[in-house]
Every structure is written in C-alpha cells, then in structure tokens.
Amino acid sequence: MKKNNILIELTPLLDVILIMLFFILVQSEGRMGSFYEETREALQEEFAILEAGLEEYLARHADEMYTLRGISDDYHALRLGLEEDTGVILVSIEADPRDSNNRWITIEADGNSTRIDLCWVNYYRDAAALTLNTTLGNKIQDSGNTVIIIAFRFDSGNIFVADHRLVSNAIHIQRQFSDLVTSVDIRI
C-alpha cells in the first residue's frame, strides 16, 4: 500500500478556534461583570432591609427593657417599703404545692412576718380570723397616722373561696375602723 503524503497545516484552524474562544471569554466576562453588579445591588438592598428590621427590633427591645426596669424599681420600692415601715402591709395566702389543704396566711410589715395556719375546723378558722384581725389592727395602730396600703396577694387558681373571703372580710373590717387604710388585690 501506498501512503499518501498529505500535509495538512493546522495553524490557521487553530488560530480561528483560539480567536473564537477569546471572543466567548470576553462576552462571558461582560455577563459575569453585570451578574456581579446585580448580585451586589440585591445584597445591599437585602442588608438595608435587615438593618431596618434590626433597628426596629432594638427600639422595641429598649422600650420593653425600660418598662421592665420600671416594674423592677416599683417592686423593689414596695419591698423596701415593707422593710422600712412606710405603711405597706403585704397579706398573702400560700399553700403547700403537694397538699392544698396545708395552707397559711402570711402578713409582712415593718420587716416582720407573721404566719397564721388555716384549716377547715370552725374553731381553728375562727381563731385564725381573730388572729388575722388582731395582727392587722396592731400593725395599723403601730403605724400612727400614715396612710396604710394593704396588698392582698394570692394565686387565683390555687385559693379556696372561703380563705379569700376570710382575708377580704378582715381587710374590710380594718377599712371600716380606719379612714387611712386602703387595699389592693394582687392576683398572681
């Protein structure tokens, strides 16, 4: 067999291919530049929206913190008032979480605390009512001519109606005997 000696020169073909590749790269770089700019602008808009949301959240958070600090200051003033004889008497009904029949009344005033146990036996209930009225009357008389605030604190979900009525009646009796006594119910 005879070989044909055909010589093909590939240099002009390679030049054409390389020129075409160069044009494709230049066009894609132009598209990539515009894509980069569009993406950057979209991200800047998104960051601006997020920063506005963050500023709004921080403003709301600052308002809530201001309100909570005010409530905390009021609470500390009340507790300080209980300790410094400013005419605040805190009466609360508490119960053992394991046994709701084991409950008591706590009276806090002038930094002192008095506990009065409660039960369902009429004799002991009457004695508890007498002790409650006597203790409240003594605290009011010891305060002199200052305005007395009796704060009655209770958990409305874990209190018996009879216990609530017992304390409310005692506070009502004290309000009848003194014009300087006012009361506030605080439900927990």
- Segment 31-81, tens digit of pLDDT: 777 778 888 898 899 999 999 999 999 999 888 998 888 888 877 777 665
The 3-class secondary structure across 33-64, one letter per residue, is HHHHHHHHHHHHHHHHHHHHHHHHHHHHHHHH
Indicate the residue among 28, 52, 83 that finishes a domain: 83
Indicate the residue among 38, 64, 83 that finishes a domain: 83
Judgement on whether residues 41 and 96 belong to the same structural domain of the protein? no
Predicted TM-score (pTM) of this structure: 0.50
Indicate the residue among 83, 114, 149 that finishes a domain: 83
Judgement on whether residues 13 and 75 belong to the same structural domain of the protein? yes
Which CATH number goes with the domain that contains 170?
3.30.420
Judgement on whether residues 49 and 139 belong to the same structural domain of the protein? no
Domain range for 112 is 85-187
